[in-house]
Amino acid sequence: MKFFVDSAEIDQIAELNDLGMVDGVTTNPSLIMKSSRDIIEVTKEICSIVSGPVSAEVTATEAETMIAEGRKLSKIADNIAIKVPLTWDGLKACKVLSGEGNMVNVTLCFSANQALLAAKAGATFISPFIGRLDDINIDGMDLIEDIRVIYDNYGFETQILAASIRTVNHVLESARIGADVMTAPPAVIKSLASHPLTDKGLAAFLADIEKTGQKIL
């Protein structure tokens, strides 16, 4: 499974990238707002750090303007994935932009039917939102599973990018089902390394070696 970082914070992205934990980055207008930086400027800097796809989202809602914005975003760097919403206009934009050779990430997917449309429109990535479905008492993992089955049935090359990931269990279940990519905030990615038994075992080892009075350095 590929790991994308859902952030526009340069320091956090760079830290995880140095550890080999970053296969790409996803951003959106809300994350850009939190970074308090210009969308073009921060996206260009992210692209200079990360070699994998960097999703940059259009802000228009009408297809023609989405296409124009997508073309502008694509000029930032060769690894830009243009992010469009899963609306009818977004699908139109996806078809045009992907036809021009751009990577396109179709976001805000909440149903398998939507995912089917995105694949037929030539999406590189489909981003089903797990956490937001959980918020309304719908199991987001069921959507990941449905999309996986449908794409495998027909050999669609669109990659399933599990999004709105909030817990380590979301990551685990997405991997078990076979999502191609997951995108998560840096804190969630770091928390994958945590386990209470690891902490307990380490504390015991350190206590025992202290009793011997030995040191390696």
Q: Which residues are catalytic?
A: 83
* β-bridge mates for residue 126, sequence order: 106, 160
Measured distance CA(30)–CA(19) in Å, rounded: 26
Name the strand (E) or helix (H) holding 198: helix 196-212
Name the strand (E) or helix (H) holding 191: helix 186-191
* First-to-last C-alpha distance (Å) of the chain: 38
Place of tokens 């981003």: 127
CB atoms within 10 A of CB 155: 7
CB 82 within 8 A of CB 56: yes
Q: Which residues neighbour 24 within 8 Å (Cβ) at sequence distance 6 or greater?
A: 2, 3, 4, 5, 50, 52, 53, 54, 55, 79, 81, 181, 183
CB 20 within 8 A of CB 2: no
